[in-house]
Amino acid sequence: MALARAGAHIVLAARTAAKGQDAVDRVGRIVPTAKVQSSILDLASLQSVREFAEREGDRPLDLLINNAGTGGAPKRELTVDGFERVFGTNYLGPFTLTGLLLPALLRTARPRVVTIASSASKLGKIDFDNLQSELSYRPMWGAYSQAKLADLIFALEFQRRIDATGTKLMSAACHPGYAITNLEKYTSGAGMKLLTAILRPWASHDAAHGALPTLYAATSPDAQPGGYYGPDGPLEAKGYPVAVSIPKRAIDTAVAKRLWLISENLTGVTFGPLSNVS
C-alpha cells in the first residue's frame, strides 16, 4: 500500500490468480491511482519460480522484496521438488528467485534486494547434517528458525559478494517483530500457544506496523548495504524500524559460503560473477 501511494509500479506475487486479484483490488480501492498487477508465483515450486522470472524479468527491476513464506506444519512435508517445505519455501525459493531476477535488477541505477528474516533466526542453527529435517523435524524451533536464519545469512553473504565484485546492487535484511498475521495459524504445541497468548497483548503489533522495517530497508536513504532492521521496542517485538543486532551465527562466513554452494547445487541457479567469489 505504501509503495502504491509513492507511485511505484508494483508486481504482487501470489500463489493463485484469485488471491492476486484480491490483493490488487484491495490496494486499488484505497489507492485509486495505484499501478499494481499480480503474477503467479509459488515459492515451493522451482518451475513456478522460473516461470515468474521469465514473465517479469524482461524489464528493469528497481526493488525485489523477498517477503512470502510459510510456518512449520505439524508434520514434515515436501515441496514438489522434494525439499522440506519450510526450507524450500522460505529459503530456496527466494534464493532462486533472486538469482533469476539478478539481470533485471542490474538494468536499473540503484537496485535493492530486501529479504525478510525473523527474530526466530536468533534461535536457529544451520545444521548441515539435518538441513532439510531428514533426521528430525521440529516445526518452529527447528525448520522455521533455521530457514529464517538462512535468509539472513543469504542477505549478508549476497552483500559480501556484491562488494567483492563491485556490483551496483544493495542487499539488506529485516524482520517484522511480532506482527499479527495469518502465519499464526502454524502455532502448535501447548508451550508455543501459551507463549503467544502471554506476549500478544503487550508485545505485538499489526501487519501494517510489521511492514515498516521492510519499507525502511527497501526505501530509506539511511538504510545500509548489509544492514539488518527490525522494531525498536523490547525484544524487537514491536515499534518503529531501527538497525538491530545480527545473531553471531548469521555472520559466520564459512557457513555462509557452504550454504551458498549447497543452495546453488540444489536449485541449479547461479548468480553469475557473484558465484565465483571465494
Catalytic positions: 144
Is residue 30 assigned to a domain? no
Ranges of the chain whose pLDDT falls below 50: 190, 202
What burial letters (b/e) apply to 47-59, b meaning 16+ CB within 10 Å?
Answer: ebbbebbeebbee
What is the per-residue pLDDT for 278?
77
Is residue 157 assigned to a domain? yes
Domain with 132, as residue range(s), is 41-177+206-232+240-276
For 157-206, write each residue's pLDDT tens digit: 999 999 999 999 999 999 999 888 665 555 555 455 555 555 555 467 78
- CA distance to 99, 191, 204, 267, per residue, from 194 (Å): 40, 5, 15, 38
Is residue 214 assigned to a domain? yes
The number of folded domains in the chain is: 1
For 219-233, write each residue's pLDDT tens digit: 999 999 999 999 999
Is residue 166 assigned to a domain? yes
Domain of 167: which CATH number? 3.40.50.720
Is residue 82 assigned to a domain? yes
What is the per-residue pLDDT for 202?
46
The span from the CA of 231 to the CA of 211, in Å, is: 10
What is the per-residue pLDDT for 206?
85
Is residue 255 assigned to a domain? yes
What is the per-residue pLDDT for 86?
97
Q: For the chain, give the secondary structure using H, E and C.
A: CHHHHCCCEEEEEECCHHHHHHHHHHHHHHCCCCEEEEEECCCCCHHHHHHHHHHHCCCCCCEEEECCCCCCCCCCCECCCCCEHHHHHHHHHHHHHHHHHHHHHCCCCCCEEEEECCHHHHHCCCCCCCCCCCCCCCHHHHHHHHHHHHHHHHHHHHHHHHHHHCCCCEEEEECCCCEECHHHHHCCCHHHHHHHHHHCCCCCEEHHHHCHHHHHHHHCCCCCCCCEEEECCHHHCCCCEEECCCCHHHHCHHHHHHHHHHHHHHHCCCCHHHHHCC
